[in-house]
Amino acid sequence: MARFLDSHKIGSFTEEQLMKLQTLPIDEFGVKHLNILYNYEADIVYCLLEAPSREAVEMNHAKFDCKCDWITEVKTTA
């Protein structure tokens, strides 16, 4: 499965919600959160995901009413 990194605004997400997202099972689009990095002062979130496609990442975020500023496929060392 491919890995993707995306960025978007924190918006109304709480720290608890972000932590819960990371523990959810693979969703109906085949997306799994591997890690979520965030900074409330900068109002930014970075999500590291496993997903079958970029479109799956977009659909995953859309169900939370969240639009990514950018999405890129990445390779990781772990």
pLDDT, tens digit (0-9, with 9 covering 90-100), for 23-61? 999 999 999 999 999 999 999 999 999 999 999 999 999
CATH of residue 62: 3.30.70.3090
The reported pLDDT for the residue numbered 78 is 82
b/e per residue 36-67 (b: at least 16 CB within 10 A): beeeeeeeebebbbbbeeeebbbbbbeeeebe
H or E element: which one contains 75? none
**Residue 49's domain spans which residues?**
2-74
Q: How many domains are contained in the chain?
A: 1
pLDDT, tens digit (0-9, with 9 covering 90-100), for 4-26? 999 999 999 999 999 999 899 99
